[in-house]
Structure 1
Amino acid sequence: MSILYSLFIENWVFFSILLIVFILYFKIRIGFNKYSEHREFSKTESPIEEFLFQELRKRTNHRNLPYEVYTQVPCGSYRIDLALYTKRGKIAIECDGKDFHSSFTQVKHDEKKDEYLKQKGWYVFRFSGSEIYRTRKGCADEVEQFIYSKGIFKKKTAHMR
C-alpha cells in the first residue's frame, strides 16, 4: 500500500510540474497574456511617460474617444510604455529618454523590440523625451491622426454626435 501511495505522490508531483512548465511555455510563446489585456499593469516609469499618458487619458475622458490607454504592458519578453487598445487595433507608444536610448546598443535593442511588436500586430510609435516635454499635445495628436488615417476608428462628424 505504501508503495502505491509513494508512486501516486511521485506521479502527482511530476505531472503538476509538467503542467506548470506547459502553461508558462505557452504564455511566453503567445507573446501577450490575454488575461491581463484589460487591466492597468503598473504606473508609468518616468515623467515623460506620465505626461503623455495623462494627455492621452484626458482625451479619452473629455472627447469620449473609443480607445483605452494602459501603462507598462507586457508583450513577450518586452514591456510597452503605453498601449492603446481600440476595437480594430493596438498601438504601442515608446517614450525614449536620452539617457536610456542614445547608445548604439540601445538603438539596436529598440529596433529589435519594434520589429517584434509589429510581428505581434502592434502599430509602434516612438517619441523622444524632448518631443514629449516640448509638445505632448502634438505627440498625442500624431497618434490620434494615425488612428483616424488607418480607419482604426472614425472621427465623429457633427451629425454623428
Structure 2
Amino acid sequence: MQAQTMQAQTMQHKRCMATVNKSRSMMRTYLSDEGVPLSYSRKRRIAMNLLKEYIREKYSSNEEIQEKLLETLSVYFNQVDNILQKTESPIEKTMAIELLNLIKSDSELGEIGFVDLEPQKTIKLNNRNKYYVADFLITWKPTVSVNGVERKLIVECDGHDFHEKTKEQVKKGKLRDRKLFLEGYTVFHFTGSEIYEDVSGCAIEVLEMIRSWHLSWVHG
C-alpha cells in the first residue's frame, strides 16, 4: 500500500512538473512574440490569466495542486520580470526567457551543480581599469563545495541594431573575447537570426557547455 501511495505521488509530481514546464513554454512563446503589439506588462497580465485558467481547468478537482502550481508560476513570473527589466534588445529578451526556462526546468542541472544567470553583468578585466557589460553571465559551481571551482560563460546576442557594425568594432570585440578567455571566461556569440530561428537550440548549446564543465570536474 505504501509503495502504491509513493508511486501515485511520484506520478502526480511528474504531471505537475509537466504542467509547469508547459506553462513556461506558453509564457515564453507569448512574451517573445513581436507580432503581438502589446507592452510587456500587458502581455504578462494576459499570459498569467491564461495560465491560471489552464491550471484551474486541468486540476479542477484538486485545489491543493492548483494552489501549489500557481505559487510556482508566481515565483517564475517574478524571475522573468526581474531578468527582462535588465535586458535591452528583443533578441536578448527572447534568449533570457529561454535560458531561464531551461535552467529551471532541467532537473539534471540541480544534480550537477549550482547555475546562476545574470543579465547585463558588468565585468572588470583584471589588472585593467576597463569594464565590460556582458549580455548574460552564467556561473556554474559543483554541488559539492570546493574552493576555487567555478566556471563562467558569457552569452552574447549579436543583433544588428545593438552590437557590432563596423570593422573596428568587430576587431575590438574579438580582442575583448581573447582577454576574457585569458581571465577564465568562455564566450558564446549567437546572431539574431540564430536566436529567432532556433532559440531553443541556442539555449541547449549553453546547457551542453554546463554539462561539459561538470564532466570535466568529475573526471578531472
Q: 1:55 to 1:137 in 2, by over 3 A?
A: same
CA distance in 1, matches of 2:215, 2:136: 17
CA contact (8 A) 2:138 2:153 kept: yes
Match of 1:94 among 151, 156, 163: 156
Q: Deviations over 1:47-67 (max 9, x none)?
A: 111111111111122224331
Normalising by the residue count of structure 1, what TM-score does the alignment of the two structures yield? 0.64
Q: How much has 1:103 moved relative to structure 2?
A: 1.9
Greater RCO (CA < 8 Å, at least 6 residues apart): 1
1:67 correspondence with 2:115: yes
In structure 2, list runs of 5 or more residues that go unmatched: 1-81, 125-130, 142-149
SS of structure 2 residue aligned to 1:101? coil
Q: How many residues align?
A: 115
Matched with 2:137 is 83
CA distance in 1, matches of 2:213, 2:172: 27
Matched with 2:26 is none
Matched with 1:136 is 199
Q: How much has 1:104 moved relative to structure 2?
A: 0.7
Q: How much has 1:153 moved relative to structure 2?
A: 8.0
1:105 correspondence with 2:163: no
Normalising by the residue count of structure 2, what TM-score does the alignment of the two structures yield? 0.48
1:121 correspondence with 2:184: yes
Q: Which moved more, 1:144-153 or 1:123-132?
A: 144-153
CA contact (8 A) 2:138 2:152 kept: yes
CA distance in 2, matches of 1:152, 1:101: 34
CA distance in 1, matches of 2:118, 2:167: 29
Structure 1 stretches of 4+ moved >4 Å = none
In structure 1, list runs of 5 or more residues that go unmatched: 1-38, 155-161
Q: How much has 1:102 moved relative to structure 2?
A: 3.5
Larger Cα-atom Rg: 1
Matched with 1:23 is none
CA distance in 2, matches of 1:106, 1:133: 23
Matched with 1:33 is none
CA contact (8 A) 2:158 2:192 kept: yes
Q: How much has 1:70 moved relative to structure 2?
A: 0.7
Q: How much has 1:131 moved relative to structure 2?
A: 0.7
SS of structure 2 residue aligned to 1:149? helix
Q: 1:107 to 1:72 in 2, by over 3 A?
A: same
CA RMSD of aligned residues (A): 2.2
CA distance in 1, matches of 2:154, 2:203: 13
Which amino acid in the other structure matches residue 134 of structure 2?
Answer: I
CA contact (8 A) 1:86 1:152 kept: no
